Chain A
Amino acid sequence: SQTIHQWPATLVQPVGSPLSLECTVEGTSNPNLYWYRQAAGRGLQLLFYSVGIGQISSEVPQNLSASRPQDRQFILSSKKLLLSDSGFYLCACNRDSREKLFFGSGTQLSVL
């Protein structure tokens, strides 16, 4: 079965600093990859999804970006973090986009 590695587990960054969260997947090839954010008191929000290398779709306009340099690697980035970027970020994948999602353990990002 698929395993998702996501790091770091927690991150504290100052406003205006860059961000790079990495997610790698094992146990499958050519997965669909997703980045979700859970802000405090809110549900899960889909940020980006990717169906293949270099193919990124954005669901919500923001100062975040995503890249997929390799088949099983998905990176979430920002050039300058905002306070509103604080939240819990989850990487997820599945082999078929209609199938259940497998989630990573998440990154708790605090922007101060």
Chain B
Amino acid sequence: AQKVTQAQTEISVVEKEDVTLDCVYETRDTTYYLFWYKQPPSGELVFLIRRNSFDEQNEISGRYSWNFQKSTSSFNFTITASQVVDSAVYFCALAHVNSGGGADGLTFGKGTHLIIQP
């Protein structure tokens, strides 16, 4: 069975601070995908990143960066110089890759509510 844990229910920081959202996952699979999604107040989910379990290189996209540590089963997300527009609920997710090469849908964490105060 798969499980994704986002231990931080809510984080509140002042604008321009750096903030890291934690994600720890459990899976018996050797091949899997990890995702981060952003859910702004409007409710829609916005895709941020997908990471293949074979690729442990960290990735940076503007103010966003992701730290994938397979040894600790973690896929943490850092926002540098946070802005008020970053306020949202952020979800980490894990996709099981089945024997046919496809995935059976994403398992999501419970989300972290990030509040950026001006």
**Judging by beta carbons under 8 Å apart, are B43 and A97 in contact?**
no
- State how many angstroms separate the Cβ of B7 from the closest Cβ of chain A: 12
Least distance between B108 CB and chain A CB atoms (Å): 4
Q: How far is the CA of A59 from the CA of B16 in the complex (A)?
A: 41
Distance from B47 Cβ to chain A, minimum over Cβ atoms (Å): 4
B111 touching A49, Cβ below 8 Å = no
Q: Is the CB of B47 within 8 A of A100?
A: yes
| Measured CA separation A31–B11 after assembly (Å) | 36
Task: Check if A81 is an interface residue, CB within 8 A of chain B.
Answer: no
In Å, the complex CA distance between A90 and B106 comes to 13
B105, A42: Cβ atoms closer than 8 Å = no
Number of residue pairs across A and B with beta carbons under 8 Å?
Answer: 62
* B42 contacts A by Cβ under 8 Å: yes
Task: Give per-residue flags for B43-59: 1 if the beta carbon is below 8 A from chain A beta carbons, else 0.
Answer: 11101001000000000
What separation, in Å, do the CA atoms of A102 and B103 have in the docked complex?
15
Chain B 83-103 per-residue mask, 1 if CB under 8 angstroms from chain A, else 0: 000000001010101000111
Number of interface residues of B (CB under 8 A): 26
Determine if B91 and A44 form an interchain contact, defined as CB atoms under 8 angstroms apart: yes
Q: Which of B37, B97, B106, B110 contacts A46 (CB under 8 A)?
A: B106
A100 to B50, Cβ gap below 8 A?
Answer: yes
CA distance A41 to B89 in the complex (A): 11
Q: Which chain B residue shows the least CB distance to A48?
A: B105
Q: Given A97-B104, A98-B103, answer yes or no on A43-B110 (Cβ-Cβ < 8 Å).
A: yes
Once the chains bind, are B105 and A49 in contact (CB under 8 Å)?
yes
Measured CB to CB, the nearest residue on chain B to A6 is B44
Q: Is the CB of B102 within 8 A of A105?
A: no
- What are the residues of chain A within 8 A of B91 when measuring CB–CB? 43-44
B33-72 vs A: 1/0 string, CB under 8 Å? 1010100001111010010000000000000000000000
